[in-house]
Amino acid sequence: MEMRLPQREPADDLPPRITVYEVGPRDGLQNEASIVAPTVKAELIRRLAGAGLGTIETTSFVNPSWVPQLADAAEVLEILGDEGRGPRRPVLVPNERGLDRALEAGVGAIAVFGSATETFAQRNLGRSVAESMAMFRPVVERALAAGLWVRAYVSMCFGDPWEGDVPVTQVVDACRSLMDLGCHELSLGDTIGVATSGHVVRLLDALESAGIGVDRIGVHFHDTYGQALANTLAALRRGVTVVDAAAGGLGGCPYAKSATGNLATEDLVWAMDGAGVETGVDLGALVETSVWLAGELGRPSPSRVVRALTGG
């Protein structure tokens, strides 16, 4: 069977174009058990950019003892030179020390990683939600003063492995605090993949009532329960235009039982191509990139599109 794309047709309930926020090099690779060489990481980012992904989160300036996989953050950016910098090459920074290292590396954009729940804040950040907001305040202030673009992740927006259901009002409060710090964009994270489409719409409605419109929001779904694409389409129908995805479906949350990762960028792009929604991404070049990376990682891509188009 030839590689065939579905008919391209305009969809009247979806936006005409979206921004894919590629998280594979950071959120994807940070969950890989074996260390990937910085040259491979830099090559991945170059190939993703070549496939048309405009926004790529390149790495994280987290404490190397927490995430050894990303201990080479400065080295990856050094290899990339100008290709790894600018407002569309954000890096994750957990705290002021991380920001110092990021500024030293000359980045043009950062992301901070907040939590909607107390338990995950304690486990992931070692402090309460309020304390983490206090920790982020100088990070965001200094980043804005340096002219950087700032994103804030909000994890556990739809459920928490320890707390179970997470009330929408609690998520809205966390989002409001992060926006009040001055962040440009929020990314609503379904860290353990339990969201369903009605829940997504309900949260977006509540955020709008709290003064946070869809123009400031990205969505970040994991495919643990097979719902990532359906949830993304629900968010797009509600006006969201920024979608986090990881090439080849890399990644996963180390706290969730299943190894299932992020929404695969290929599966998202296939859906958008079919709906006539512009992404700027060349699906063939992206699939080639994921096949190459799967070879480097020594295991097949979990993306359904990658597997279907390459006979995997």
Binding site for a second copy (CB under 8 A): 1-2, 4, 6-7, 9-11, 14, 158-159, 161, 164-165, 192-199, 202, 223-227, 229-230, 233-234, 255-258, 260, 264, 267, 270-271, 273-276, 303-305, 307-309, 311-312
Question: Between 10 and 147, whose beta carbon lies closer to a second copy?
Answer: 10
Classify the C-alpha dihedral 116-179-203-194 as positive or negative.
Answer: negative
Whole-angstrom CA distances from 106 to 40, 83, 89, 257 are 21, 12, 11, 37
Nearest approach in angstroms of CB 51 to a second copy is 18
Question: Between 11 and 144, whose beta carbon lies closer to a second copy?
Answer: 11
- DSSP assignment of 167-224 equals -HHHHHHHHHHHHHTT-SEEEEEETTS---HHHHHHHHHHHHHTT--GGGEEEEEB-T
Contact by Cβ (8 Å): 14, 237: yes
Say how many C-beta atoms besides its own lie within 10 A of residue 311's C-beta. 6
Taken as a whole, the chain contains a residue count of 312
Say how many C-beta atoms besides its own lie within 10 A of residue 282's C-beta. 15
Say how many C-beta atoms besides its own lie within 10 A of residue 180's C-beta. 11
Q: Does the active-site annotation cover 253? A: yes
Distance CA(312)–CA(301), nearest Å, equals: 9
Question: Between 80 and 235, whose beta carbon lies closer to a second copy?
Answer: 235
Residues 157, 175, 183, 253: which is the catalytic one?
253
Which tokens is 94 given?
Answer: 């957990």
Nearest approach in angstroms of CB 154 to a second copy is 18
Nearest approach in angstroms of CB 245 to a second copy is 11
Question: Between 225 and 292, whose beta carbon lies closer to a second copy?
Answer: 225
Distance CA(190)–CA(230), nearest Å, equals: 13
C-alpha Rg value of the chain to the nearest Å: 18
Nearest approach in angstroms of CB 218 to a second copy is 19
Contact by Cβ (8 Å): 209, 271: no
Distance CA(13)–CA(202), nearest Å, equals: 18
Place of tokens 């594979």: 24
CA 262 vs. chain centroid, Å, equals 8
Question: Between 107 and 287, whose beta carbon lies closer to a second copy?
Answer: 287
Contact by Cβ (8 Å): 276, 41: no
Nearest approach in angstroms of CB 292 to a second copy is 19
Question: Between 71 and 277, whose beta carbon lies closer to a second copy?
Answer: 277
Nearest approach in angstroms of CB 170 to a second copy is 13
- Catalytic residue numbers read 253
